[in-house]
Amino acid sequence: MAAMHVLSMDGTEFSAAFHIAIPATNNTAGCPWRTVVLRNGGGKTILPDGDGTLGTISAAEKTQILAGEIMELVTSGGWGAGTFPTGAQLDAIAAAIVSNYLAAMQLKYSRYGMTR
């Protein structure tokens, strides 16, 4: 599965769909992270059906998103003036976005589902 699908670029800004693997573990309240994702905006894709290349999503990828195994995060970002980032630089951008998303999600929803 592609980690990043670039949707548009304008100068030094880009918009992309990032595919983030959601842990198969539970939060502090005992709720599976994948359930948390599905109940809080996950389970959707903006990419058209296809084979997973050139801005499309494969049937297998779509199944993972619908199950909460993968979160599709559409966001934008940029880089300094100059040339388009290399593949390694795009990989670093994607890794940072994925890491930041997971950390923020796990902090925000650490107690999601807790009842007393």
pLDDT greater than 70 at residue 82: no
pLDDT at 1: 63
The domain total for the chain is: 1
DSSP code of residue 24: S
Does 78 reside within a domain? yes
How large is the average pLDDT for residues 13-42?
95
pLDDT-derived band at 91, boundaries 50, 70, 90: confident
Does 114 reside within a domain? no
pLDDT at 81: 67
Average pLDDT, the chain: 90
CA distance 105 to 111: 11
Does 113 reside within a domain? no
How large is the average pLDDT for residues 24-34?
97
Domain assignment of residue 13, given as a range: 4-108
pLDDT at 38: 97
Does 115 reside within a domain? no
Does 116 reside within a domain? no
Does 83 reside within a domain? yes
Does 39 reside within a domain? yes
pTM of the model: 0.87
pLDDT at 8: 86
pLDDT at 14: 83
pLDDT-derived band at 24, boundaries 50, 70, 90: very high
CB 69 within 8 A of CB 33: no
48 exposed, middle or buried (CB, 10 Å; 0-12, 13-18, 19+)? exposed
